[in-house]
Amino acid sequence: MIDYQSLRFDYKRHPDQDAAAPVRRPVAVIGAGPVGLALAIDLAQRGIPVVLLDNDNALSTGSRAICFAKRTLEIFDRLGCGERMVGKGVSWNVGRVFFRNEEIYSFDLLPETGHARPAFVNLQQYYVEGFLAERAAGLPLIDLRWKNKVAGTVQHADHVALTVETPDGPYQLDAVYVAACDGSRSSMRALLGLESKGRQFKDRFLIADVKMKLDRPAERWFWFDPEFHRNQSVLLHMQPDNVWRIDFQLGWDADPEEEKKPEKIIPRVKALLGEDAQFDLEWASVYTFSCLRMDRFRHGRVFFAGDSAHGVSPFGARGANSGVQDAENLAWKLAAVLQRQAPDALLDSYGHEREYAADENILHSTRATDFITPKSEVSRLFRDAVLELAKRHAFARTLVNSGRLSVPATLHTSALNTPDADAFEGCMVPGAVAADAPLVRADGTAGWLLQEAGSGAFTAVVFGSGEVADRAARAAAAAGAAAGVPIETVRIPTDEAHALAARRYDARAGTLYLLRPDQHVCGRWRRADAGLVRAALDRALCNA
């Protein structure tokens, strides 16, 4: 078995370093973390050559981001490694909330059946990076260069000039577009003289990765003010390999270096598990909450994604998940522009949409942090009263906030959406991520809607059979042909076997949903013709 934490990648001198003049590449991605790797894979699968530069030659250490949401797993499916992530990870749907020593309620994040993926998978970040890196290594359009640090950048009208430092000295590289996925301490952000703005919370948390055999289910357990850690909060998560993640609230006055010492961590863990508990410490870190973002995610030909663009407190699992969704949003738009299917204006929508999503994540994360770590006696009294009420009254449970867990943003305000002209019910509105549902393929085998619609192209989901559905499918094909943009088609009968899909999409025979390459709904109709679909396609590509 590969030890991904100790894995090191070889630095290799590249012919670009010996070129007489800087070589120009379509896209340079800076940072080989989950976001940069996902973006590079997505672009390569769309036929776009990518140079991926990382200043190190190793994967992350410690668990770091561990909770990967259903939407992120669906994206990983399309990138060719979702099954591997789910196979290694610990799947979970249930969370339990405790006040002092009493469980006050539990919740199920995926209370309904009919989804290919669980609500969340817990998987250490080094596994996620390792699986993505191995997938990237198998794609010939990805040129992954370890120990290549971007040390300078100059923007020109038609490209970005990068100065790259290596163990053999610096060299020059040009890229038509650059994606900065280089984390919260982004060197690209510093090189451009930009900053993230927001709020830092005056509290500290200890993360401890503890290896042990513990007879507890794969659930999220959160304690407010437990007897074993009074006046603070604690979070417990199961990970693969018998590793458990424990987060201890410490308070603002805690010394980060002292709290990382084993002699400080071990008593805290024993207070939770019992004095006789047997365990080994694998990794520990102390972090401070902050919620912040850059004013704009696009700066000329440079785009910021993931932690380089925005940061949130960890409760709610909104960091890595939103970063992977940034990458998915940016990839199809860069590909469309580079392949001359869309104008440069489409790239502006990346900033508009993902800034909107970041603001939503920051709002939820800020509210969670304020509830978990009250900073006044009045706030604490309110929180504790809510927790007491939540033991007996369902209405109070909606007020408890131990981290509203990550869901994809519905892009209500996107200019790429075509407003409804027909009446629909439900949540599959323009701007929403398409819902999954089981289906039966034409050959009789079982499948899943999102996996069938996972080609990375625009997709028409057509409901029904017979002439009315055939007309809708022909309309989508004609619209794509006229625009020079392929539209894939997924046919879903309106029979008993597909009743769940029809219900989730409020569909009947002839209903057509047009999905963007990132599976957001961009238009829907009860009766579609080629003109309507073509207009929606043009709008989604900023060709209108």
pLDDT digits (tens, 9 = 90+) for 125-159: 999 999 999 999 999 999 999 999 999 999 999 99
Residues 6+ apart with CB under 8 A from 385: none
Least confident of 59-63, 95-99, 322-326: 59-63
Q: How confident is the model at residue 372 (pLDDT cuts 50, 70, 90)?
A: confident
CA 505/CA 426 separation, integer angstroms: 7
pLDDT exceeds 70 at position 316: no
Q: How confident is the model at residue 195 (pLDDT cuts 50, 70, 90)?
A: very high
Region of 374 (left: φ > 0; alpha: ψ -120 to 50; beta: rest) is beta
CA 530/CA 230 separation, integer angstroms: 64
When pLDDT is averaged across residues 518-530 and rounded to a whole number, the result is 96
Overall size of the chain counted in residues: 544
Question: Residue 83: what pLDDT?
Answer: 96
CATH class of the domain at 202-288: alpha beta
CA 515/CA 459 separation, integer angstroms: 5
Q: What is the pLDDT of residues 79-97, one digit of tens each?
A: 999 999 999 999 988 999 9
Question: Residue 290: what pLDDT?
Answer: 82
Q: Which residue has the tokens 């949003």?
A: 329
For Cα atoms 333, 456, 413, give the angle at the middle one, nearest 5 degrees: 50
Q: How confident is the model at residue 200 (pLDDT cuts 50, 70, 90)?
A: confident
Q: Are 229 and 248 contacting, i.e. CB atoms less than 8 angstroms apart?
A: yes
Q: Does domain 15-90+123-198+294-363 have CATH number 3.50.50.60?
A: yes
pLDDT exceeds 80 at position 279: yes
pLDDT exceeds 90 at position 449: yes
CA 406/CA 107 separation, integer angstroms: 14
pLDDT exceeds 90 at position 314: no
When pLDDT is averaged across residues 322-347 and rounded to a whole number, the result is 97
Residues 6+ apart with CB under 8 A from 163: 150, 151, 152, 153, 170, 171, 172
Q: Are 408 and 465 contacting, i.e. CB atoms less than 8 angstroms apart?
A: no
Domain boundaries, the chain: 15-90+123-198+294-363, 202-288, 438-540
Question: Residue 215: what pLDDT?
Answer: 84
Least confident of 259-263, 390-394, 403-407, 522-526: 403-407
438-540 to CATH, choices 3.40.30.120, 3.30.70.2740, 3.40.50.1980, 3.20.20.150: 3.40.30.120
Reference 86, options 51, 133, 131; nearest CA is 131
Question: Residue 179: what pLDDT?
Answer: 98
